[in-house]
Structure 1
Amino acid sequence: MSGPQTYDVIIAGGGTAGCIVAGRLADADPSLTILVVEAGPPTRNDVLHLQPCRYLYHLRPESTTVRFHTSAKSDALGGREMVFPCGQCIGGGSSVNFAMYTRAAAVDYDEWAKVHGNSGWSAVELLPFLRKCESYEIEAGKETHGYSGPLKVSSGGFYTEVGKEFLDVAAEYDKTRGTTDDVNGLYECDKYGVTRPDPPVCRWISAETGKRSDIPHHYIYNAEHPNITLLDGFHVKRVIFEGTKAVGIEYVPNKRFRADVPFEVTTARAKRLVVVSAGAFGSPGILERSGVGQKNVLDRVGVAQVVDLPGLGEQYQDHQVIFVPYVAAPEIHTLDGVVTGDKLENDKWNKEWEEHGTGLIAHNGIDSGVKLRPTEKDLAAIGPAFRERWESYYAASPGKPVIWFGNAALQVHSTYELYLGDMSKYEGGKNFCVAWYLQHPASLGRLHITSASDPSAPLDFYGGFLDDPADLALHTWAYKLSREFARRMPCYRGELVGAHPVFAPAATPRAQAHDGPVPMDAPDLAYSAEDDRAVEEWVRATVMSAWHSMGTCAMKPRGKGGVVDSRLNVYGTEGLKVVDMSICPSNVAANTYSTAIVIGEKAAAMIAEELGIPFV
């Protein structure tokens, strides 16, 4: 074993929140020595990270920037195993995600504070951190947005016909819902963004350069930080305790990236604080290998228990997503050619991106969407399986949406087929998707380690998707809604056959080619009981993770399954915090990047206060 190194602060994980904490603390006190240990590779100045359109590249089976976790087979999924990706590189999800700028509803954060007892985590208390991180380039003077932060927020470099047509359909077909000029203002939902020259959907993309607003290029790589040691390609094995005080870590080479490094355990000592920031999948594993968690889990792998925390690794949460593909008119703009490697398309759009920071390279293909709450008519259509969930969780919270529902100007095939590199079902041409994800699924999962010493060992993981019938009912309704929007869009040329439910040959809603859209006032498709069963079977075979994992180190009272307190201290320990999406006590109605950022920003301020560091 190598001799120990000593730092003031050690951060186990170099993802979104960990890099924010490191960058903010390093800037606040240049004398503070910080070690960041990340299992994945560096991302500095790599166009595959800087170009927003490249997110699907990182979901190939041979990806080196994402780690795939496989959930155990599930009866609710028809016996299917499910793949759950998570970012594993410097910057974590911020470096590989869809760059979607969606913020949680204010009531989500208020739930963290009021329902789960976390002082300091209400929407009003988090708003300064939401503002601090961003430079909102859409419109000046918006009260809930920031204008001097390191991360740029813009509408991106293009506005596709798919996005415009989706909103045009909404205006005519769905007149029960209004519009808003800011779909991310925290306090409104169930309203479509206003159609205007720029798309109402925002992105973490710079309007000037067209580059992704990731964390490492704006908190770490953007300045000289001689007090940060950034170590990539190494797994954190465990936290070292003296009694119940965290005093350091052990780490080992990640054999995927450090095959040339002798496989030995290295020790690093922390004089002031250890921060675990390895995400919803990684942080519970580090803690369990350190002796923190359920005794039966630790006994099973031979780890001596240091602290009993039965809630660790439980209450896994995610967003259940489905992309439904349609054939598009050949003259519209989509990302299909760019993401499938078409040379002419890539050469054309790369040139525009390099010269002007605009075009499809500076884009993610998602130009419109809405956070929906069902109407009474919708609730009747969804059926009784969802009614109790609605009454107990949503009805009294009018700011809490049920699904995100929108478009994507490209083909994202079902069950990760395109994500994972199987192009056999890609038929070429232009495609678009209508997609949705459940904002607060009722189903929960769990995960635990299977090895005391190997951080790369597969987890004992169960995702829990569709275990609650309320979730299946929502997906079935959302599929039918997606069909009605898609077939009214002028670019619609039918369903992508093979990517929809298998209906009887004579069934009205069967997937088929079409020579154009139906009239706006056409009757909705009628589904028989047999058709409904086909949709449910398809949902079980198609639903996938939105890679918005959270909740496995929940910020709750210890007696209610909590792992950390409202200061992010691990219960029963000293000098140890968890700072990442695993601390979320309940789900958020948004892509999770914004929430990961606010967790990092708030944690940096709290840590600076505790260490006596002046902090702005």
Structure 2
Amino acid sequence: MSHQILSDFDIIFAGGGTTACVVAGRLASYDPSLRILILEAGQHTLNKDAHVQPWQIPTHQAPTSTSVTFNIGNPTPHLNDRAPVVLSGRCVGGGSCVNFMVYTRAPASDFDDWGVDGWESKNLIPLMKKLETYEVQPDRPTHGYDGPIKVSTGGCKLSLCDEFIQVGTTYHKRQYADDTNDLETCNTYMSWYSYIDGTTGRRSDAAHNYLYNQAHNLNIQVWDGKRVKRVIVENKRAVGVEFTSDPISFPGTDQSPSTVRASKLVVVSAGAFGSPGILERSGIGAEAVLKRCGIEQLVNLPGVGENYQDHNLLYVPYLAADEVVTMDALWRGEESILRESLAQWYSNGKSLIAQNGLDSKIKWRPDDEELKVMGSAFQPRWKEFFRDRPDKAVAIFAAGAGCSLRNILPPRNYMTASYYTLYPVSVGSVHINTTENGGERMDFTTGFLDDPSDIVPLNFAYKKLREIFRRMPSYRGEVSAGHPIFPEGSAAFCGEASGPVELNAPDIVYTAEDDEAIAKFHRDHMQTTWHSLGTCAMKPEADQGVVDARLNVYGVSNLKVADMSITPLNVGTNTYSTALLIGERAAMIIAEDLGIDCI
């Protein structure tokens, strides 16, 4: 097999996702003479409709999609022996080019809880402001107004989301707030803003706003369709990487390995799934993992691939009134709607093309009455973690105007209840392993619902959101196939309805059998929130850490990790905001290490 050695660069990024785009883009702007290479297994996203038009989210979830990787977990009894599938971005820009674009930020205390020098919230808030242009409201002290990433209300207002807020603030007895992304406010209903440029109506992703906008700088190169196998380490110093052409991005291409060298730094930035695998194939990891794969151990770091975390998500579909505006017709591809919406979008950046279907939410914390209803299984977790941290929400509840299961459901209007828990106790792991014929496979354990307390808020959320949706004016019943299978004769029976119940109507009374059906439904259908993190944790080495506070991999010089895998603890947010923040902080750290002015 031939082995090609290519020319040197100063810095090589193994992976071209969200954080890599931020770091590389910032460094190139700080010092345009830096020779920077990004190697990304997926394809370019530059000005491709599927990536820049917000409404096209469902295309990236389709089984035939090549813009994401379908990471298949090991079957687990806590998911009724299902093998969960977790998607991760697989294109230049990574998750920022395929995600739902919803704008949430973690509470400041999440970063303080990390206990890592330099990563305290007081040091990170200036970077949070630096990265964004908050188009929604002026003069907010924790928001930024001249950064590369745009935050707006999207292309048009959806009335379903107003209904959700109205019922939430009356029936659910929570207040409304203009901003629950101020790093401290939660447990209030609000409009849900988006990573969408309010002027152009385009997705506001890391690839276009940090990287592609520097096409004039020939010293920064992005090679797509290149899968990094390992980091080349000489005398405990990273000096380059070995890679091959990716067979998915470019079928039929030569799979011979190539080598490219870095004179200053190698940055592993392949995400919670890719980064631990690159380190392990490089001989950095736990002895048992490397030995079973026939890899010589260079550095004993048993924390590599451990500490996998995510959020636990459910989508539950409801029937909506015929006259209400939803995303359904567009997602079904109805030509007249698509043609009209595209014309408006090209004209002024508005219409459903610049929408994700999600316009309202609450970062929910249970009150005393709700805690009592939730029962004893959640009490220890509440007392130990949540009770004295009033800025931490247990879950996010949201209303979606439409249902993306367009090929399964009959053509009509739908609305979707989504809920996901933000700090599950359960953790998993991501490692490399070998197949029976000597190939490589992923050994991925999600940990989903392993801890008994994790399912309790999901069970409660199903019931509470059902009561909220039943009271929304556009409610026309449940899509029974997307709900628990309740016993015959149950008061919780799901089906079509002529309209909503009154605000003061009694709640559905669930029997013990009904509760069992809800728990089974969650174990059968709970899924990833695509918020994978933690597998190269920024912790002390003795505590299964992989990188230090300056993102250096323990035991190897000139090697850093910069992506969501470094997050030591979970964060109460959709993780795009955190990936951007890690990128800004990593760019500052690297610039300081190289003596580059980054002001």
TM beyond 0.5? yes
SS in 2 for 1:170: helix
Matched, 1:29 2:31: yes
C-alpha contact 1:55 1:98 (8 A) present in aligned 2: yes
Match of 2:111 in 1: 109
SS in 1 for 2:412: coil
Q: Cα deviations across residues 320-346 of structure 1 (Å, max 9, x unaligned)?
A: 100110000011111112122222221
Match of 1:468 in 2: 451
Q: Give the 3 Å change call, closer, same or farther, for CA 614–306 of structure 1 in structure 2.
A: same
Match of 1:92 in 2: 94
Distance of 1:286 and 1:511 partners within structure 2: 47
Match of 1:445 in 2: 428
C-alpha contact 2:105 2:577 (8 A) present in aligned 1: yes
C-alpha contact 1:472 1:539 (8 A) present in aligned 2: yes
* Percent identity of paired positions between Structure 1 and Structure 2: 46
Distance of 1:381 and 1:571 partners within structure 2: 47
Match of 1:154 in 2: 152
Match of 1:196 in 2: none
Matched, 1:293 2:285: yes
SS in 2 for 1:229: strand
Match of 2:526 in 1: 543
C-alpha contact 1:236 1:455 (8 A) present in aligned 2: no
Q: CA deviation at 1:591?
A: 0.5
Write out aligned runs for 1:197-596 (5 A).
Answer: 200-223=191-214, 224-412=216-404, 418=405, 423=407, 425-451=408-434, 457-596=440-579
C-alpha contact 1:244 1:573 (8 A) present in aligned 2: yes
C-alpha contact 1:103 1:591 (8 A) present in aligned 2: yes
SS in 2 for 1:407: strand
C-alpha contact 1:183 1:201 (8 A) present in aligned 2: no
C-alpha contact 1:38 1:235 (8 A) present in aligned 2: yes
SS in 2 for 1:251: strand
Q: CA deviation at 1:225?
A: 2.0
Amino acid at match of 1:210: G
Q: CA deviation at 1:243?
A: 1.9
Match of 1:125 in 2: 123
Amino acid at match of 1:68: F
Q: Cα deviations across residues 301-321 of structure 1 (Å, max 9, x unaligned)?
A: 000001111111111000110
| Number of residue equivalences | 595
Distance of 1:577 and 1:550 partners within structure 2: 16
C-alpha contact 1:337 1:345 (8 A) present in aligned 2: yes
SS in 2 for 1:588: coil
Amino acid at match of 2:248: R
Where structure 2 has 5 or more consecutive residues not aligned to the other structure, the ranges are none
C-alpha contact 2:37 2:223 (8 A) present in aligned 1: yes
Q: CA deviation at 1:162?
A: 1.0
Q: CA deviation at 1:259?
A: 2.9
Matched, 1:614 2:574: no
Q: CA deviation at 1:260?
A: 4.5
Q: Cα deviations across residues 117-147 of structure 1 (Å, max 9, x unaligned)?
A: x111111110111111111101110000001
Q: CA deviation at 1:3?
A: 2.1
Q: CA deviation at 1:258?
A: 2.4
Which runs of 4 or more aligned residues in structure 1 lie more than 6 Å from their structure 2 counterparts after TM superposition?
Answer: none
Match of 1:180 in 2: 177
Amino acid at match of 1:314: E
Distance of 1:279 and 1:603 partners within structure 2: 14
C-alpha contact 1:126 1:598 (8 A) present in aligned 2: yes
Q: CA deviation at 1:358?
A: 0.7
Tell me the TM-score normalized by structure 1: 0.95
SS in 2 for 1:264: coil
Distance of 2:57 and 2:217 partners within structure 1: 28
Distance of 1:210 and 1:457 partners within structure 2: 42
Tell me the TM-score normalized by structure 2: 0.98
Amino acid at match of 2:534: G
C-alpha contact 1:555 1:565 (8 A) present in aligned 2: yes
Q: Give the 3 Å change call, closer, same or farther, for CA 53–62 of structure 1 in structure 2.
A: same
Q: CA deviation at 1:411?
A: 1.2
Distance of 1:540 and 1:55 partners within structure 2: 25
C-alpha contact 2:313 2:529 (8 A) present in aligned 1: yes
Match of 1:164 among 162, 167, 189: 162
Distance of 2:281 and 2:392 partners within structure 1: 37
Match of 1:82 among 84, 106, 127: 84
C-alpha contact 1:105 1:187 (8 A) present in aligned 2: yes
SS in 1 for 2:202: coil
**RMSD between aligned residues:** 1.4
Distance of 2:495 and 2:164 partners within structure 1: 20
Amino acid at match of 2:134: Y
SS in 1 for 2:399: strand
SS in 2 for 1:354: helix
Amino acid at match of 2:591: A
C-alpha contact 2:172 2:468 (8 A) present in aligned 1: no
Q: CA deviation at 1:109?
A: 1.1
SS in 2 for 1:258: coil
C-alpha contact 1:293 1:309 (8 A) present in aligned 2: yes
Q: CA deviation at 1:295?
A: 0.2
Where structure 1 has 5 or more consecutive residues not aligned to the other structure, the ranges are 194-199, 413-417
Q: CA deviation at 1:486?
A: 0.5
Distance of 1:7 and 1:451 partners within structure 2: 32
Amino acid at match of 2:102: M
C-alpha contact 2:46 2:212 (8 A) present in aligned 1: yes
C-alpha contact 1:497 1:512 (8 A) present in aligned 2: yes
Q: CA deviation at 1:457?
A: 4.0
Distance of 1:498 and 1:23 partners within structure 2: 46
Distance of 2:194 and 2:547 partners within structure 1: 31
Q: Cα deviations across residues 374-400 of structure 1 (Å, max 9, x unaligned)?
A: 111111111111111111111111111
Q: Give the 3 Å change call, closer, same or farther, for CA 100–456 of structure 1 in structure 2.
A: farther
C-alpha contact 1:277 1:283 (8 A) present in aligned 2: yes
C-alpha contact 1:57 1:339 (8 A) present in aligned 2: no
